[in-house]
Amino acid sequence: MASTIATSGTSGGKDNGGGGKNKVVEGNWCKNRSTDEESIRNACLLVCEGFVLGTAAASYTQYEILIAVGVTLVVTLSLTLFAFQTKIDFTGCGIFVFVSLIVLMLFGILAIIFSSKILSLVYSCLGALLFCFYLVFDTQLMIGGHHKYALSPEEYVFAALTLYLDVVNIFMYILSIIGSSRS
């Protein structure tokens, strides 16, 4: 049976006495939240994300954006189908994907310091791969079932937002890869 991950928002886990088997992710800010507060936070996040996407996409051609959208669509559908049908449980890899994200951020800082086209391309490829893994990881958390960890049904907004951010990050990294390939 899958352990339930209560609300996320922190990356740490707390052992709730189940012999190290059941982990619950808790955030103090979420204990008494209302749906209105959650909706306002999510709306603000989506507006800010829209500004970031619009600003980033302004430096690309319409053709490049359409290619990135198409590739992102194919990748997202393929990975979602994979996450639903595979017998491999990726939900136990949470710490590994988190550490990989930290390593990617550190590599990004190095890529900024030692600016080169190849480093930018490698960074974008690694970012796309990492968020592809995040998409599979988060999809399996959402569907629960026979997986080690699962989100509770009350966390549908959090699950949808997580999947949205995974897809947006995949899109941005693919767009960056396409942009790096121009002369």
* pLDDT per residue rounded down to tens, the chain (183 residues): 444 444 344 333 333 333 333 333 434 344 444 577 877 888 888 899 889 888 988 899 999 999 999 999 999 999 999 988 888 888 788 899 999 999 999 999 999 999 889 999 999 999 999 999 999 988 888 877 665 656 666 677 777 888 899 999 999 999 999 998 875
Task: Give the residue ranges of DSSP H helices in 22-61.
Answer: 35-57
| Residue 69 DSSP SS3 | helix
Q: What is the largest CA-CA distance in the chain?
A: 57
CA 25 to the chain's CA centroid: 17
| CA atoms of 137 and 142, how far apart (whole Å) | 9
Model-wide pTM > 0.85: no
Q: How many CA atoms lie within 13 A of 97 on its CB side?
A: 19
pLDDT of residue 16: 38
| CA atoms of 169 and 130, how far apart (whole Å) | 10
Structural tokens at position 43: 């709306």
pLDDT of residue 103: 96
Sequence-distant (6+) residues with CB within 8 A of 139 are 79, 80, 83, 84, 163
Phi, psi dihedrals of residue 56, rounded to the nearest 5°:
-65, -40
pLDDT of residue 140: 86
pLDDT of residue 148: 62
CA 97 to the chain's CA centroid: 10
| CA atoms of 129 and 123, how far apart (whole Å) | 10
